[in-house]
Amino acid sequence: MSHRSDPVLEPDPVLDAPFGAEPEPDALIQAAMRWHFSPETGSPFWLRTAETFDFDPRRDVRTFADLARFPNVVNQFRDVRVQDLIPRGYGPDPDVVGVYESGGTTGAPKRVVILEDWMRRLVANSQDLSDRRGVPNGVGWLSVVPSGPHVFGEFVGRQARQRGSVRFTVDLDPRWVRKVLADGRPEEAERYAEHVIDQAGRILETQDIGVLVTTPPLLERLARRDDLVKLVNEHVRVISWGGAHMDADTRSILRDEVFPEIQIYGVYGSTMVLGAAHERLGLTADDPCVFDPYSPYISFEVVDPQTRRPVGYGERGQVIMHHISRNALLPNNLERDLATRIEPPPGQMGDSVADVGPVAVFDDEPLIEGVY
């Protein structure tokens, strides 16, 4: 993805604001509209797509509410040429971290391009939250998550390196698990999951692991093995889960009964927002699992799926996600998740969410989670 003729433009004080000095939401939205829809800086995809609009994003999209004017274009990301997703303002040699794909739970996967400036910002946010949680530096990490084409592995690897840690990995192929489940072969999915846990077990038996990162289905499977539970309780200090949903009862059992001395927290992410929301700090044992997105770059709304109007706080609805940054624009994406709408912290754009769970059918396709 190099040798393009686009000039590199000067940094934008809003889009390139340093971590910890995030811009006001409306200022970010307006700067992003100028960037993504100006011929000198916008991506070929958005400049081409804008020709079909009955509005001018640079003139008419100025606030969070205005994002509703955009059509949901994410299904086009299944087939679009990925070079067309990179804003021209990055110049002829954009610093591409990688091309990453959605999980494929609802048909052919969608693709996004993640650039280095966004990845650094995303990791900086995660590191700040880890510091506030007291996640230790310099301890071994074990990540039992997929690598490419999923971004989860790259993201975890960067976090571990920044904390001065050695990361051990067990890769997995969640699409194979979904395929055999869809084909009516659950016993094959069971064998595969056991194979993954066997590999994780050998690392836990022989290495000093202080942080475990995995998915809820695999964490539940690990919790069935008394020998591995004993090892985890003796050595691991933090468990971070993500990549699939965890219901409230399972979360309570794992936290209070299986791993009572270990800090356990969740991460709710989506490839199509190029990131994740982290479990809110300071929740009590009686609180639901609340996720706060990295505002204003990532934001959520919880709506009635028929009317697209917000449900009340404390009510269930379907999640709409938005991503707005220099790297990418992905507004108004109706996700495959249901959640409870939660009042956000002061200054956050959009909603927080809790008790996230999958819809049964999405885009006329049955949803199969499997292990990720």
Q: Is 275 helix (H, G, I), strand (E, B) or coil?
A: strand
For residue 199 the two structure tokens come to 């590999």
Cβ partners under 8 Å of residue 207, min gap 6? 140, 142, 168
Do 354 and 337 meet the contact criterion of CB atoms below 8 Å apart?
A: no
Do 279 and 266 meet the contact criterion of CB atoms below 8 Å apart?
A: yes
Do 104 and 243 meet the contact criterion of CB atoms below 8 Å apart?
A: no
**Residue 47 CB: number of other CB atoms within 10 A?**
17
What are the φ and ψ backbone dihedral angles of 75, each rounded to 5 degrees? Answer: -65, -25
Q: Which of the 8 DSSP states describes residue 234?
A: H
Greater pLDDT, 325 or 107: 325
Do 301 and 351 meet the contact criterion of CB atoms below 8 Å apart?
A: yes
- 164-185 pLDDT tens trace: 999 999 999 999 998 999 899 9
Cβ-in-10-Å burial (0-12, 13-18, 19+) of 353 comes to buried
- 338-364 pLDDT tens trace: 999 999 999 999 999 999 998 876 666
DSSP-derived secondary structure for 170-221: E---HHHHHHHHHTT-HHHHHHHHHHHHHHHHHHHHHS-EEEEEE-HHHHHH
- 235-291 pLDDT tens trace: 999 999 999 899 999 999 999 999 999 999 999 989 999 999 999 999 998 999 999
Whole-structure pTM value:
0.93
Greater pLDDT, 178 or 45: 45
The pLDDT of residue 366: 62
What are the φ and ψ backbone dihedral angles of 325, each rounded to 5 degrees? Answer: -155, 180
Do 292 and 278 meet the contact criterion of CB atoms below 8 Å apart?
A: yes
- Residue burial 94-130, b: 16+ Cβ < 10 Å; e: rest: bebbebbbbbbbbeebbbbbbbebbbebbbebbbebb
What are the φ and ψ backbone dihedral angles of 150, each rounded to 5 degrees? Answer: -90, 145
Q: How far apart are CA 293 and CA 244, in angstroms?
A: 17
